[in-house]
Amino acid sequence: MGLQLRVLGSGSSGNCSLISHGETHVLIDAGFSYREISERLVQYGLQPEQLTAVLVTHEHGDHVRSAHTISRKMKIPIFTTEGTFATALQEKPLFDWVEVFPGRSFQLGAMVFHPITLPHDAADPVGYRIECGGRVMAHMTDFGYVSSLVRESLRGCDLILLEANHDLDMLRNGPYPWSLKQRIASKLGHLSNEAMLEVLQEIAHDGLEHIVFGHLSETNNNVPLLRAQVRQTLRRMGLHELAFTIARQDQICDLLEV
C-alpha cells in the first residue's frame, strides 16, 4: 500500500490535492466550491464521505474557499495554523479545528505530516512534507523564494508537488499593474519557473520518481513554455527519465503513487 497523490486541480484561482494511504484521505486545501471538489473526487472513484481531514495551508481564497463547508458537511476536522484560522475561519461554522504548529509533526492514519513554514504574504502559511512507510512526499506552493528550510524539506522525496507560478519575462512584460508584479515577484510572493528550476537542480536525486508542477498563473505562465523549460533542465542534468506532470486548474491529474 503506497502513498498516493491526487491533484484535483491547481492554479492561481483554485488549489486542492488529496493525499491518501489506505483508507485515510486527507485534503490539502479546498480552493474550489464544495460541489466542484465533490465532482472531482467522484472522477477518482471517491466520495466526500471518505475524507478524513482538511488541511488548509493559508487563508487565501484559492486555498480556503470551501474548507469550512466540507468540515461541516462531512463532520471532519480542519487543520490550520492559528494565523490561518484567525484570518479566514474563525467566524465560520466548523465541525472541528485542530491547530497546526510549524515544525511540529502530526499523524493521520499511518501518514506523518510535517508542517513547513513558507515565505508568503499570509498570516502563518505552511507547506507539508509527508512521510509514510519509508515513502516521502512534499507538497509546497505559495512561497516567494526557496528558504533553506524549504530546500531541506524538498530533499530525499519520492514525489513532489512544487509551485511553478510564473515566467519572469511574462510577468515583467505582462498586463498586471506594477504594484501587483512587485508583490508576486517579492520574497513573500510566488515562485517563478526560474527559481523552481534552480531548486529542482539541487534537490533532484535518483529516488525522485515524479514531480508535479502546480499553481501556474493563467496570465504569467503557460504549459508549453514551462514544459520546454523543464525538459531542457532535466536533459542538461541527465535526468530526462524523471517523470513530471503540469497540473491544471480545470482538470484532475492522474493518480500518482509511490
* Segment lying near Zn ion (by CB under 5 A), choices 33-41, 95-103, 139-147, 205-213: 139-147
Compute the least distance from the CB of residue 255 to Zn ion, in Å: 23
Query: Please, what is the minimum distance in Å from the beta carbon of residue 222 to Zn ion?
Result: 18
20: amino acid identity, one letter = S
List binders of Zn ion among 171-210 (CB under 5 A): none
Site residues for Zn ion, window 33-62 (CB under 5 A)? 60, 62
> What is the distance between the terminal CA atoms of the chain, rounded to a whole angstrom?
9
CA distance readout (Å), 194 to 154, 197, 204, 211, 224: 17, 5, 15, 16, 15
Report the nearest approach of Zn ion to the CB of residue 89 (Å). Answer: 15
Residue nearest to Zn ion according to CB distances in the complex: 60
Closest to Zn ion by CB, 124 or 142: 142
Q: How far is it, in rounded angstroms, from Cα 76 to Cα 251?
A: 25
Residue 123: CB minimum distance to Zn ion, A? 11
For 93-128, b/e burial (b = at least 16 CB within 10 A) is: ebeebeebebeeebebeebebbbbbbbbbbbbbbbb
Burial of residue 43, with CB atoms counted within 10 A of its CB: 0-12 exposed, 13-18 middle, 19 or more buried: exposed
Conformation bin of residue 12: beta by default, left when phi > 0, alpha when psi is -120 to 50: alpha
Closest distance to Zn ion from the beta carbon of 29 (Å): 8
Residue closer to Zn ion, measured from CB, 126 or 136: 126
6 lies in the binding site for Zn ion (CB under 5 A): no
Of 16 and 234, which has the nearer Cβ to Zn ion? 16
From 80-88, 92-100, 136-144, 156-164, span contacting Zn ion (CB under 5 A): 136-144
By rule CB under 5 A, what count of residues binds Zn ion? 3
Cα 141 to Cα 119: distance, rounded to the nearest angstrom: 10
Residue 61 or 207 with smaller CB distance to Zn ion: 61
Which residue number, 51 or 191, has a Cβ lying nearer to Zn ion? 191
Four-point Cα dihedral 158, 256, 127, 155, nearest 10: 10
Closer CB to Zn ion, 60 or 135, in the complex: 60
Q: Three-state SS for 243?
A: strand
**Strand blocks (E) in 168-220:** 210-214
Q: Is 142 in the site for Zn ion (CB under 5 A)?
A: yes
CA–chain centroid gap for 223, Å, is 17
- Least gap, CB of 138 to Zn ion (angstroms): 16
- State which residue, 5 or 125, has the beta carbon closest to Zn ion: 125
- 11, 222 in Cβ contact below 8 A? no
The least CB distance from residue 15 to Zn ion, in Å, is: 6
Using CB under 5 A as the criterion, which residues of the chain lie in contact with Zn ion when the complex forms? 60, 62, 142
